[in-house]
Amino acid sequence: MNENVLKDPTIPVADGVPLLGSAVSMLRNPLQFLRQQQAKQGPVFRVKAGPRELVILSGWDAVKFMNEDGKDCFVSNEFWGKLTRFWQCPHFLSAMDGSEHIEVRRNFKSSMVRGAAIERQEDIIRIVRDTVASYTEQGDTVSARSLTRTLTNSELFLLMTGNWPTVEPSVARSIAEYQRITFNVLVLGKWPRLMLLSPWYLWHKRQSFKFVRELQQQFETSPPTSGFFKAVMDIKGKMPGFTPGDYDFMFLAPFWAGLDTLGAGLTFLLREVVENPQATARLITELDQAVLEHGGIPDAETLRKLPELFGFCMEILRLYPVAFGNGRSASKDFEFSGYKIKKGENLLVFTTSTHFDEAFFPNPECFDPRRYDKEHNQHRQRYAFNPFGRGPHICLGAGMAESMMLTTVATLLSEYNISAAEPGKHYDMIFDPSPTLSDRFKVRIQKRHSNVPTDNSKTSG
């Protein structure tokens, strides 16, 4: 944080202890802590964690401000800059601002659209079947986090490269471990930089780069004609200041973008499936009916119209917001909600604070997929539902991620019985670095012996 910043002394300071400030609460459960402090301090408050400080802007007004009147008050480079400098990748999308950001974003846009997942829906179904089969070869109890990471990586590999996935669970794990440690050290500053020299980190880094090099070699030998990596190869040739670090980072970026987001979302979804039998039973009944009517898993557009399925997935994104805030810094002095924010302040726009606001989502702690049906449409309220962020950096892969989620969940629940490996045992949300569940949360997956016909059999592995 810029030491020259003049701090507004009237901004309330979140609960904490001398020296450490709120560090312990922020490490343990930042989502819960921010919600508590918002209720206590109001929409603007300062969080001190040791030497680091962050001003939190929360509530509906903050989301609106970031999107409308205040959109030029925020920059991303300071928050993500440590990663950019370490990697020497100045074209890392999340860390870019202004016209350069718009230009790079435009290049990638068409490869991350909903249509990409819709077009390859049959293949996504096949990936789910193949991945579950490979996981259950040794037994029917699997780590939910590991399974969903491999599923997400394999589906993204297909959608980004156009090729049949070759992402082994061990590679998926290395990519995830490499990301986890890098983010905890460089972006969040939770762990010391020494971690970047640990044999554990270096091993996963080597595995990740082996994967990246193989992909690069493949595309240098036969250049892709469409999709995300075609955009990367194009940018590489024409973008001024494009570095080798940019080139490497862009080969990992889509996998990193999907792991802690879609992967974690699916992990929370599996926990809800085993802990919420009523909502799950309604969902399975709906899916069985749809499969019967369509002679197999319905197409992606039909899945989106199934109220229980759509509502179940949206409710996961609301209640367990894996990207619960957007890290920024103030590009200039500005005022928000009666407080003066000084240029250079580190900020967190708590975009998903509205998810827990009674005014938009009555009884917000309750898991209720029916909030999203035609009658209620709670997610359609302006700026209320923000799992994919807001503003110029709003998730580029939102439509694609949603479609991947619907197809993956429809396949898992219509073709497998999923139950808790340890019935009655609850696993709490952990932050590692984003919200997720520990590898100890395991589910039992068994093929369902239903009479439901599956027309998608032509894709069955």
**Interacting residues toward ligand HEM by CB under 6 A:** 93-94, 105, 112, 156, 254, 257-258, 261-262, 265, 322-323, 326, 387-389, 393, 395-397, 400-401
- Name the residue number minimizing CB distance to ligand HEM: 397
Q: Which is nearer to ligand HEM, 283 or 401 (CB)?
A: 401
Where do we find the tokens 């919200």? 435
Tell me how far, at minimum, the Cβ of 350 lies from ligand HEM, in Å: 12
Separation CA 172–CA 150 (nearest Å): 5
Q: Which is nearer to ligand HEM, 105 or 370 (CB)?
A: 105
* Shortest separation between residue 435's beta carbon and ligand HEM, angstroms: 10
**Residue 111 Cβ vs ligand HEM, minimum distance, rounded to whole Å:** 9
Cβ burial of 84 (10 Å; 0-12, 13-18, 19+) is: buried
Closest to ligand HEM by CB, 21 or 387 = 387
Distances (CA, A) of 447 to 31, 126, 237, 242, 265: 36, 14, 48, 48, 23
- Supply the minimum distance, in Å, between the C-beta of residue 461 and ligand HEM: 23
Nearer to ligand HEM, 297 or 347 (CB): 347
Count, in order, helices (H) and strands (E) of the chain: 17, 12
Least CB distance to ligand HEM at residue 158 (A):
12
Please enumerate in sequence order all residues whose Cβ is within 8 A of that of 388, keeping only pairs 6 or more positions apart, or say none. 323, 394, 395, 398, 401
Q: Compute the distance between CA of residue 420 and CA of residue 424 in angstroms, rounded to an integer.
A: 8
Bridge partners, 330 (sequence order): 74
Crossing angle of helices 244-258 and 144-161, in 10° steps, is 130
Cα 251 from Cα 230, distance rounded (Å): 11
Least Å from the CB of residue 121 to ligand HEM = 15
Measured CA to CA, the distance from residue 159 to residue 400 in angstroms comes to 9
C-beta of 400 vs 409, nearer to ligand HEM: 400
Closest CB to ligand HEM among residues 201, 385 = 385
